[in-house]
């Protein structure tokens, strides 16, 4: 899932302090799971903002809506009839949702309420870690299901490097060496022979370096 | 025991303090409460393992938010006691009421009254 983190309330207040009618728009998908922009977080932010403005002696209308997703036309259409009531929207969706919203409602000022961080997994409650960099050319089949692109600081295709010590990466003692994990997993799979094969130069044309990417599937269009 | 404690607190019973969320605390302030305190079981003795520990973290989150928006973080508190400690319950109630009276009324309540 896409992992995001809450923006500090002070930062959000700074962005919207001059507005009069504000919609806090949550998303029921990834940001709900990582507890940054779901219905609950929408309620907390809206309540905090209502109190902040009242304390400033201002009556600001703050409404709460949480859509099933903000990255789909169908769900974003649900607010079309009410969007003109607001002079600002704080979207708690990931960067995708915020941008999709901006493209769809071109005259409504829009502010992000979260910092979108990475594609990751929930290791435990309150701890999310990166797993994928969406390079567009998955090589997990040859690396025992552990991604050296996302999890090796150097993105090495033939690792580990000399900075791997006791299974940890040299950039931080808390970070596992991805290549140590790969070797351990290949051993467990009894496929350590594959480790000896040199990985060829990766085709990076599918990665971000070529500009914004697109997946087009005519079979489902 | 027939203990005395201030009459201006309103008790809301929950099955476990783990039920209490940040939004419940914030809504109480939005509706005009001058202070909110959560009284949970002793830490390490939660019947549901960590309900009271979660409650403490949520109270801390609420405190941070209340401080940021100018209401005052100390208006929300977490206390722990065992179910047999009636005198302590009365002491916490008195302590909370005294402290809140020193802080004065919730500014939200005053702002709402002014607007109305």
Q: Which residue shows structure tokens 């201002």?
A: A58
Q: The complex's ipTM? A: 0.94
Q: Using an 8 Å CB-CB cutoff, list chain B residues near A55.
A: 69-71, 107-108, 111
Q: How confident is the model at residue B114 (pLDDT cuts 50, 70, 90)?
A: confident
**In the prediction, which pLDDT does A208 show?**
87
- Please report, rounded to a whole number, the percentage of residues in chain A having pLDDT higher than 70: 100
**Residue of A90, A92, A118 whose CA lies nearest to A38:** A92
B112 part of contact set with chain A, CB < 8 Å: yes
The CATH number fitting domain A2-118, selected from 3.30.365.10, 3.30.1130.10, 3.40.50.2300, 3.40.50.300: 3.40.50.2300
**pLDDT single digits (tens) B30-72:** 999 999 999 999 999 999 999 999 999 999 999 999 999 999 9
Q: Using an 8 Å CB-CB cutoff, list chain A residues near B108.
A: 51, 54-55
The pTM for the full model equals: 0.93
Q: How confident is the model at residue B17 (pLDDT cuts 50, 70, 90)?
A: very high
Q: Report phi then psi at A127, rounded to 5.
A: -135, 115
Q: Where do you find CATH 3.40.50.2300 in chain A? A: 2-118
B114 part of contact set with chain A, CB < 8 Å: yes
Q: Using an 8 Å CB-CB cutoff, list chain B residues near A43.
A: 23
A50: number of Cβ within 10 Å: 21
Distance separating alpha carbons of residues A5 and B36, to the nearest angstrom: 27
> b/e per residue, B14-48, with b = 16+ CB within 10 A?
eebbbebbbbbbbebbbeebbbbbbbbbeeeebee
**pLDDT single digits (tens) A106-134:** 999 999 999 999 999 999 999 999 999 99
Whether the CB-CB separation of A177 and A167 falls below 8 Å is answered with: yes
């Amino acid at each position: 899932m896409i992992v995001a983190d809450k923006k500090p309330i002070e930062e959000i207040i700074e962005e919207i302090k001059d507005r009069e009618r504000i919609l806090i728009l949550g998303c029921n998908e990834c940001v709900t799971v990582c507890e940054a922009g779901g219905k609950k977080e929408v309620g907390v932010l809206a309540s905090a903002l209502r109190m902040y403005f009242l304390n400033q002696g201002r009556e600001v209308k703050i409404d709460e809506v949480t859509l099933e997703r903000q990255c789909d036309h169908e769900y974003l259409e649900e607010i079309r009839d009410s969007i003109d009531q607001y002079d600002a929207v704080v979207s708690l969706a990931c960067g995708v949702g915020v941008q999709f919203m901006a493209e769809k409602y071109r005259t409504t000022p829009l502010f992000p309420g979260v910092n979108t961080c990475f594609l990751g997994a929930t290791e435990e409650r309150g701890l999310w870690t990166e797993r994928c960099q969406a390079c567009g050319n998955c090589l997990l089949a040859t690396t025992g299901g552990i991604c050296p692109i996302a999890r090796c600081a150097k993105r090495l295709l033939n690792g580990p490097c000399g900075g791997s010590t006791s299974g940890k990466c040299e950039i931080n003692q808390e970070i596992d060496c991805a290549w140590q994990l790969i070797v351990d997993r290949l051993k467990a799979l009894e496929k350590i022979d594959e480790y000896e094969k040199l990985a060829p130069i990766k085709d990076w044309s599918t990665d971000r370096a070529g500009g914004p990417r697109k997946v087009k599937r005519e079979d489902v269009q | 025991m027939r203990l005395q404690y201030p009459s201006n607190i309103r008790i809301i019973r929950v099955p476990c303090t783990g039920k209490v969320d940040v939004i419940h605390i914030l809504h109480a302030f939005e509706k005009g409460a001058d202070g909110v305190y959560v009284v949970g079981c002793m830490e390490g003795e939660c019947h549901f393992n960590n309900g009271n520990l979660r409650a403490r973290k949520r109270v801390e989150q609420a405190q941070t938010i209340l401080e940021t928006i100018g209401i005052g973080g100390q208006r929300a508190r977490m206390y722990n006691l065992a179910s047999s400690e009636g005198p302590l319950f009365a002491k916490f109630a008195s302590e909370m009421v005294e402290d809140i009276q020193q802080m004065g009324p919730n500014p939200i309540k005053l702002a709402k009254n002014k607007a109305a």
